[in-house]
Amino acid sequence: MSFRPVLILATLLAAWSADATAETIKIGVTPGPHAPILQAVKPIAAKGGLDIQLIEFSAYVVPNAALDAGDIQANSFQNQPYLDNQKADRGYKIEAVGLIDFTVT
């Protein structure tokens, strides 16, 4: 896996922390590569004053529902077509703020 996803997430979270009023952000993840990537981002974000709290979901339909309801502030687990379908099917008012490119060597 390349370090590009970590750098992308760190950059996005650094930008968020510059504008955020809260010091803690809850991010929904699913098992697999998303939780470890965000674990790697946590110390980088902490240097900018942002505490990341990971909320792990085992069912893939739950993170978007939690995000739409305001229970979490972000999630990392899906591709753009899945997000588009979820928004169309369920009427979610959520948007992608960045994409993660997983590269395996």
8 A C-beta contact, residue 104 and residue 1: yes
Q: What is the pLDDT of residue 99?
A: 74
Band the pLDDT of 105: cuts 50, 70, 90.
low
pTM score: 0.74
Q: What is the pLDDT of residue 63?
A: 93
* Between residues 34 and 103, the one the model is more confident about: 34
Map out the domains of the chain with their CATH numbers. 4-90 (3.40.190.10)
Find where tokens 């699913």 sit.
30
Instruction: Identify the burial level of 100 via C-beta atoms within 10 angstroms of its C-beta, where 0-12 means exposed, 13-18 middle and 19 or more buried.
Output: middle
* Angstrom distance (rounded) from CA 37 to CA 6: 6
* Between residues 25 and 101, the one the model is more confident about: 25
Q: What is the pLDDT of residue 3?
A: 44
- Per DSSP, 76 falls in state E
* Intra-chain end-to-end CA distance of the chain, in Å: 6
